[in-house]
Amino acid sequence: MPQVAPTQVSARSFNSTALNVSWLPIEQTREKIHGRLIGHRLKYWKKDNAEETAVYYLSRSTRPWALVVGLQPDTYYYVKAMAYNSAGEGPESERFLERTFRKAPQKPPSSVHIFPVDPSTVRVVWRYVAPSLEEEPLIGYKVRVWAYDQDMSTANDTIVYVGSKLEAYINNLSFGKSYNMRLLAFSNGGDGRMSSPAVTFKMGDPDAVRNPDAVRNADAFRYADAVRNSASHSFNMPIKSLALLIISLSFIMI
One DSSP character per residue, 72-102 reads: PTT-EEEEEEEEEETTEE------EEEE---
- How many structural domains compose the chain? 2
Same domain flag for 166 and 243: yes
pLDDT at 122 (0 to 100):
94
Average pLDDT of the segment spanning 92-115: 96
**231 lies in a domain?**
yes
Host domain of residue 20: 7-99
**108 lies in a domain?**
no
Q: How far apart are the first and last CA of the chain?
A: 70
Same domain flag for 172 and 239: yes
Average pLDDT of the segment spanning 221-227: 35
Residue 79: pLDDT band by 50, 70, 90 thresholds?
very high
Same domain flag for 133 and 224: yes
Alpha carbons 158 and 142: distance in angstroms, whole number: 6
Query: Considering Cα of 163, then 165, then 166, then 167, what sign does the dihedral take?
Result: negative
pLDDT at 164 (0 to 100):
96
pTM given for the model: 0.75
Same domain flag for 232 and 152: yes
Same domain flag for 49 and 145: no
Same domain flag for 78 and 171: no
Same domain flag for 130 and 183: yes
**107 lies in a domain?**
no
Same domain flag for 30 and 152: no
For residues 129 and 105, the answer to whether their CB atoms sit within 8 Å is yes
Same domain flag for 90 and 169: no
Q: Are strands 113-118 and 199-202 parallel, antiparallel or unpaired?
A: unpaired
**106 lies in a domain?**
no
Could you tell me which of 104, 101, 80 has the C-alpha nearest to residue 23? 80
Could you tell me which of 106, 108, 111 has the C-alpha nearest to residue 126? 111
Alpha carbons 80 and 210: distance in angstroms, whole number: 52
Same domain flag for 60 and 162: no
User: For the ranges 109-123, 174-188, 214-228, which has the lowest average pLDDT?
Assistant: 214-228
Find all residues with CB under 8 Å of 216, minimum gap 6, and list them: none
What phi and psi, each to the nearest 5 degrees, are found at residue 219?
A: -60, -35
